[in-house]
Structure 1
Amino acid sequence: MSMIAGGVMLSTASCKKFLDQTSQTKLDENTVFSDLDLVETALKGDYANWKAIRTDEQGLIMMMGTDETQQGAFQMKSDALKGGLDRYDANLNSTLNHIGNQWDLRWPIVNDAAKVVKGLNTPDLVAGSRQAKLVGEASFIRGFLDFQLAMYWGEIPIRDLARESELGLRRQPLKDVWTFILEDLQRAADNCPDQNDPGRATSGAALAMLGKAYMSAPVSTGLRDFSKAAACFEKMMGRYSLVPYADLWDYSKKNTAESILEFQFDINQPNNNKLQFQIGSRAVQAYFGDGCYMSGYDKILPTAYAYLPTDSGGVWEAGDLRRNESIRYDFTYFGQKPTLAPITWEDLGNDYDELMPHVKKYEDYRTDKHTDNQINNMWNSGKDILVLRLGDIKLCYAECLNELNRGADAVAVVNEVRTRAWGGTLPVDKAWKAMSQDAFRTAIMDERIRELFAEDWRRIDLIRTGKFVELIKARNKWAKQSNTIQPYHMLLPIPDTEMKLNDQITPADQNPGYH
């Protein structure tokens, strides 16, 4: 059974109601979908599995190999296969298990959501009912994950179970895939509630993703539509407001007025996300131990472009408060400065980067040995993870306005975001002025690094704007050294495991360039 078809939660969830059903191997779906409590329990399981994608090392894989973040030097040296994600060399192929894992993690959730949509989206669906709300949430989950799958892999199977005999498990044409994504997200916008429990979809989140889908659909599909995207953003932006940038990364201020969708975590296992364990400094860990909240293992670090000031060839302008909220430059810890002495055995030559700038946004001081929490291990890091927020959507909206020849309006929206970045008063010399449409396209990509550094949108931004090869080759240290990145790398290879298990996706269906 293929990874696409296998492992559906509605038949395996560890819920007493499920296990009490007459059949121990296959639920009577009519019974399942007549019990909305049971469906809601299954959807909560889908949310839990979805947020788990963003935890530990697997939560960083799609951030590797961009112009914004890259793997640490020791990681590149010690794991040549995974190093292919930054070098874009022969190790980036269909057998790379990190790629297969990203594929496999998403499809069971898509399948579960597809079951809910098929089971509940009946002709007599009543707008505003609990049943309609659950249809909306399932459509949002499937639409969001299909959006990612299509951005990363291109043509993908369409899991519309009402048409399963027609569609099977084959990859479908891009236009059909993106039409399906847009339909899912529109259904979600129509049926998700305006307010929901933290971590669950709302109509605002659905409209935000629908807008992103309209501005990201490949041009070849004929579905890219900046006017429709802008309209989606206009419908939902007024429900949210920008907050001080530091508040977004303050674990005591969960689900702020800016948050549109936020995965809920804490410092208690199993609901911690372990991100700091992966992104902190190995030199700090070797010097101060696991109980230092800055410790970790250098899985991803900022590229030089993403941490340097503009006068040194980087992205950061003087006075931008986002810089020190996003990136750790100083590793002084209770008056002590760590050194590389404990890790010189790595023999990295000129590539030591364990005390170079690191990702800061996910540091969680609650895990530190100097607190009263008695956690004493950065592995327990558990800040919430922002999935969608207003700062991102405002910049997306500005892009749409620029494409619609409304340059002055686009600049004004960007300046709203930049005003927050300078603490509420934007210096005259930092305010964007009128510029050409093409100059705006270049400038907004830098602004999205400043605003959204390490928030898992960069790969998608590079793909949808056609800047993938150009910017990665220029700014990612390992891709630059390897000099092997090609246009076909914009899409990932279909995993070898899927082709072996799914007879409807064969080596002949592999993305071009991969073997």
Structure 2
Amino acid sequence: MKKTFINILIAGTVLFSASCKKFLTEESKTKLDEDKVYSNVELIETSLKGVYANWKNIRTDEQGLITMMGTDELQQGAFQMKSDALKGGLDRYDGNLNSLLNYTANQWNLRWPVVNEAAKMIRGLQKLNGAPGTKEATLLGEACFVRGFMDFELAMYWGEIPIRDLNREAELGFRRQPLRDVWTFIIDDFTKAANLAPAKNDPGRATSGAAWAMLGKAYMSAPESTGLRDFAKAKECFEKMMGNYTLVPYKDLWDYSKPNTTESIFEFQFSPIYPNNNKVQFQIGSRAVQSFFGDGCYYSGYDKVVPTVHAYETVANGGVWEDGDLRKRESIRYDFTYYGETPTLERITWEDLGNDYDELKPHVKKYEDFRTDKHSGMQINNEWNSGKNMPILRLGDIKLCYAECLNELGKTADAVNVVNEVRARAWGGTLPADKRWTVASPDEFRTMMLDERIRELFAENWRRIDLIRTGKFVDRIKTYNKWAKQSGSIQSFNMLYPIPDVEMKLNDQITPADQNPGYH
């Protein structure tokens, strides 16, 4: 990360080359330009747009799936597990999940340039000292939101992390900081963002509503050991913003002709035209479909992640889905028939997977983009160009978070009512009597909520965080993830990723002694 910081200062990119040390001994040739950039509000806004683009890029292609792997909701496809033993460690939680694993190192390295650029903007905007409502102040709110969100993810995935407050750089350095300090910093960023970011903004940019939502999530997610977890404060944050959004029909959330609905709080903006496509369907579609119909079928792909049995089966068969829940068919593809022809496995038997073939078992459907299909008339003809918007924060999620807070505050009956509001949407607006929750205890509510969040938020990249913050990471994964169950290797320390080996080699303030417990 220290090397990443240096590269950002000099070149604006992340490059692992020996030449960077040379820059440390030379007079800076960029300092004057940086001083100009971060004292000019128009140039800061241009830089901010670049930061949003880099953040959005984290959620594209295969790299956008890494933190979704290895949960009770999604697992890697069988052929992927067989052909890439190193990446297989993300589901097996075996010795391949270590500090040398490039897939997790890349997740670490992708986030720090965003954090650093946001930190530079924040320092510059603080010097400009704009009054609330001015452009300087609203941009400061947005930059705080971005840094807060990145730090939130980094802290959830790695635990103690460096704090990039450039006003205290001499004090903080590049060391990992105590969890309480890290989470205090995250909460402070979201608090500033909530008070300064604009109420309305261009699609894909932060608002005060998004900041209040994330501040609430931060209060829910801060480790209990920090003393900062506070469901009452989280509840208040959610109450400040929920009234500005409304639930829409669930299918509208995945309709590319209806982007940025009234439910959307913050979503990444994509299109099926390169370079604004997200390429996700290429990774999550079916290899068997691709072998039959080619890349011109909009649900072709390469099975990088597939739903666990628990995430696609009915309640009667040990899964999460209840009869009549409309979210099921919007979230998961069960039928692979394409214009009257049904594919088989005969063209991919060379994979030799025995009983593990899963290319025609249920797949993620939410990100399928018919505009890329050879029958769409758009002449794109390749699922690699998939470009649906991706929801990052939406009201359905926040209502369920709010219900959790109510339950933890002893208001379980009120919490049940909120959940039933979300569930009513899942049955077309009227919730059948036998589908209404009538939860008797807070513990029963917590258990039921774990499955409800799969139904509502399947494949929206909240699952790993949900399992970590609720303390159910190991139990749920070893029970429902096929590969983790077979391996039997998952342990409590796997809740955090290992600090990358390259980080420890390049940053003398993070050494092997600072590695997360259990890894080497």
Report TM bin, short chain.
over 0.9
Distance 1:445 1:10 in 2: 45
Structure 1 position 276 matched with structure 2 position 281: yes
Distance 1:9 1:383 in 2: 33
- Shift in alpha-carbon separation, 1:159–1:382, aligned structure 2, 3 A: same
Question: What does residue 16 of structure 2 align with?
Answer: none
- Shift in alpha-carbon separation, 1:124–1:37, aligned structure 2, 3 A: closer
Question: What does residue 105 of structure 1 align with?
Answer: 110
Unaligned runs of 5+ in 1: 14-22
CA contact (8 A) 1:10 1:112 kept: no
Distance 2:200 2:356 in 1: 48
Q: TM-score, normalised by structure 2?
A: 0.96
Distance 2:321 2:3 in 1: 42
Distance 1:394 1:4 in 2: 38
Give the Å deviation of 1:26: 3.5
Give the Å deviation of 1:435: 1.8
SS at match of 1:350: coil
SS at match of 1:388: strand
CA contact (8 A) 1:186 1:210 kept: yes
Structure 1 position 114 matched with structure 2 position 119: yes
Q: 1:251 aligns with which of 256, 260, 272?
A: 256
Give the Å deviation of 1:28: 3.6
Question: What does residue 7 of structure 1 align with?
Answer: 7
Structure 1 position 433 matched with structure 2 position 431: no
Give the Å deviation of 1:451: 0.0
Q: TM-score, normalised by structure 1?
A: 0.97
Give the Å deviation of 1:123: 7.8
SS at match of 1:349: coil
Q: 1:158 aligns with which of 144, 157, 163?
A: 163
Give the Å deviation of 1:7: 3.4
CA contact (8 A) 1:207 1:233 kept: yes
Q: 2:268 aligns with which of 257, 260, 263?
A: 263
Amino acid at match of 1:12: G
Question: What does residue 18 of structure 2 align with?
Answer: none
CA contact (8 A) 1:10 1:42 kept: no
Question: What does residue 20 of structure 1 align with?
Answer: none
Query: Could you report, residue by residue, the CA deviation over 1:440-459 in whole angstroms, capped at 9, with x for unpaired residues?
Result: 00001110000000000000
Distance 1:10 1:198 in 2: 31
Give the Å deviation of 1:308: 0.2
Question: What does residue 474 of structure 1 align with?
Answer: 479
CA contact (8 A) 2:198 2:208 kept: yes
Amino acid at match of 1:144: F
Query: Could you report, residue by residue, the CA deviation over 1:178-234 in whole angstroms, capped at 9, with x for unpaired residues?
Result: 000000000000100000000000000000000000000000000000000000000
CA contact (8 A) 2:10 2:30 kept: no
Structure 1 position 239 matched with structure 2 position 244: yes
Question: What does residue 141 of structure 2 align with?
Answer: 136
Amino acid at match of 2:273: N
Question: What does residue 486 of structure 1 align with?
Answer: 491
Amino acid at match of 1:406: K
Distance 1:303 1:144 in 2: 28
Question: What does residue 388 of structure 1 align with?
Answer: 393
Distance 2:418 2:157 in 1: 29
Give the Å deviation of 1:5: 1.8
Query: Could you report, residue by residue, the CA deviation over 1:49-72 in whole angstroms, capped at 9, with x for unpaired residues?
Result: 000000000000000000000000
Give the Å deviation of 1:125: 3.0
Query: Could you report, residue by residue, the CA deviation over 1:290-343 in whole angstroms, capped at 9, with x for unpaired residues?
Result: 000010000000000000000000000000000000000000000000000110
Query: Could you report, residue by residue, the CA deviation over 1:378-433 in whole angstroms, capped at 9, with x for unpaired residues?
Result: 00000000000000000000000000000111000000000000000100000011
RMSD: 1.2
Q: 1:195 aligns with which of 185, 192, 200?
A: 200
Give the 5 Å matches for 1:293-442: 293-442=298-447
CA contact (8 A) 1:473 1:483 kept: yes
Distance 1:170 1:208 in 2: 29
Q: 2:74 aligns with which of 69, 76, 99?
A: 69
Distance 2:3 2:369 in 1: 35
Amino acid at match of 1:164: E
Distance 1:250 1:24 in 2: 48
Distance 1:35 1:303 in 2: 50
Structure 1 position 185 matched with structure 2 position 160: no
Give the Å deviation of 1:31: 1.9
Query: Could you report, residue by residue, the CA deviation over 1:116-166 in whole angstroms, capped at 9, with x for unpaired residues?
Result: 111111384301110001110110000000000000000000000000000
Distance 2:31 2:188 in 1: 29
Amino acid at match of 1:284: V
Question: What does residue 147 of structure 1 align with?
Answer: 152
CA contact (8 A) 2:197 2:207 kept: yes
Amino acid at match of 1:242: L
Give the Å deviation of 1:24: 5.7
Tell me whether 90-99 or 3-12 shows the greater mean CA deviation.
3-12
Moved over 4 A (4+): none
- Shift in alpha-carbon separation, 1:216–1:58, aligned structure 2, 3 A: same
Give the 5 Å matches for 1:7-86: 7-8=7-8, 12=12, 25-86=30-91
SS at match of 2:7: coil
CA contact (8 A) 1:6 1:108 kept: no
Query: Could you report, residue by residue, the CA deviation over 1:264-301 in whole angstroms, capped at 9, with x for unpaired residues?
Result: 00000000000000000000000110000010000000
